[in-house]
Amino acid sequence: MLLIPILMFLRPCLISAQDIRLVNGTTPSQGRLEVFYDNTWGTVCDDYFDDKDAIVVCRMLRFSENLSKVAVRTEAAYGQGTDPIWLDDVHCDGYETSLFNCPASWRNHNCNHGEDVGVDCDLNQSVSITGNQPVIENSSLSLRCQLSACYSYQCTYSWTSSKAISGNTSQQSLTFENITRDWNTATIYCHVNVTSPSTVIVGSTTMDVQYGPSSATVSVSSPLTVTENTSFPTAITCSSPACNPLCNANWFNGSTKILNTTLFSTPISRYFAGSYICNVSNAVGIWTTQLDVIVNYGPSSATVSVSSPLTVTENTSPPTAITCSSPACSPLCNANWFNGSTKILNTTLFSTPISRYFAGSYICNVSNAVGFWTTQLDVIVNYGPSSAPVSVSSPLTVTENTSPPTAITCSSPACNPLCNANWFNGSTKVLNTTLFSTPISRYFAGSYICNVSNAVGFRITQLDVIVNCRRTEGQVFV
């Protein structure tokens, strides 16, 4: 048969099923193919006309329920036409919506009506493809094609697919190796060429490639640092890429499954800190991604190792170390003592024996970048008198029957608790705080003790009193 170049003519007027028909068949779904052109019905030559072209014809005629049951009838199987031969060398890919979108030669042909092509859009003979089953990615799958009531010498087989097969594969059985996920939902066509009568029948099956997740996507980067009692600026989700069958995406904290698909729907607590696992899985595989959550929070207290107020005695050491410490913080807190606005460099108060000058209020300050907390410690230092001041010098010389030149008092310096100041003459306590409120008698001569004391201690000072007597007439002093 002489081959001539394919000539392309665009015919925008041929756009619907009304421009083609099947005639001389026993049912509306089969017959000689004719096209309407130049106001005349004409036939189509069977040169190069195959099942792909037949699928497009059946699609145009709305026989699209099962396009795998189509057949090409060659050599005027439905009788010879008498009208012009309009089309030759039709080359469809099988995906077109109209025959007139396919490359073809219009009006130019090298055929006669003995080559008029026929199409059967509802073929009763069935092509069975066995062996198809869900297959896991990277494994293999073997398919076998068989036309019912067809012996091997009558039929030849070929396979095509838009994804899984490159070109035609001419064999009855076909094995796919190293199957990839891209082949999922690929349609595999088996073309059965029947030699007598010359017919092409097509069967198809769809590949079900099962594969697990290739990642587990977390919507934020790890580690994630947040501040307590705030909400996240965005939802924290665990999601999956394409999987077959569909994957489930879940959050886990340790072995505990979190019911929500979004982490932390409430304001964040410090107890949310830790590692979370985004787990994406199906029956084929699993993928996990870890999200480390750091929660920054300030101190909830400032702990002082002793109770306030703290009462101690001068020149002793505290019964225990007096420390300022912090509970858990993130980031770590600094704990410092302050006396007023002055920071105390030591973390422990009073590393030396206590002086009365240590009395006062101290602030335990615990802080980090998030916040701070303070606790006040009041320190009371008990101390005894440092002296027992007497208002006159010893010895004190006075003349009988005169009054002292000034009040003779026993007083106390600062004490904590307050001191009592008393005069003693021997073991006898003088009730008055001022000696000799009456004119002095010779009998007042002697030693007096100024005693200043409190619960902590005491001090004494001795005052020696000398009373000079005046001589009267008749008195003799020996």
Rounded Cα gap, residues 285 and 157, in angstroms: 36
pTM above 0.85, yes or no: no
Q: Could you tell me if residue 478 is inside a domain?
A: no
CATH number at residue 233: 2.60.40.10
| pLDDT at residue 6 in the model | 37
Q: Could you tell me if residue 10 is inside a domain?
A: no
pLDDT tens column, 352-397: 788 899 999 999 999 999 999 999 999 999 999 999 999 999 999 9
Whether 116 and 24 map to the same domain: the answer is yes
Q: DSSP assignment of 374-418, as one string? A: EEEEEEEEEB--S---BSS-SSEEEETTS--SS-EEB-----BSP
Which domain range does residue 290 map to?
Answer: 217-296
Whether 154 and 239 map to the same domain: the answer is no
Do strands 322-325 and 199-206 pair parallel, antiparallel, or not at all (unpaired)?
unpaired
Residue 8: pLDDT over 60: no
Q: Could you tell me if residue 11 is inside a domain?
A: no
pLDDT tens column, 240-270: 989 999 999 999 999 999 988 788 877 888 8
Whether 308 and 288 map to the same domain: the answer is no
Residue 159: how many other CB atoms lie within 10 Å = 22
Q: Could you tell me if residue 391 is inside a domain?
A: no
pLDDT tens column, 14-72: 456 678 999 998 777 889 999 998 889 999 999 999 988 999 998 888 876 566 678 88
Residue 425: pLDDT over 70: yes
Residue 76: pLDDT over 60: yes
Token pair belonging to 200? 């092409």
Rounded Cα gap, residues 118 and 126, in angstroms: 18
| Structural domain count of the chain | 5
Q: Could you tell me if residue 474 is inside a domain?
A: no
Q: Single out the residue in 245, 278, 296 at which a domain terminates.
A: 296
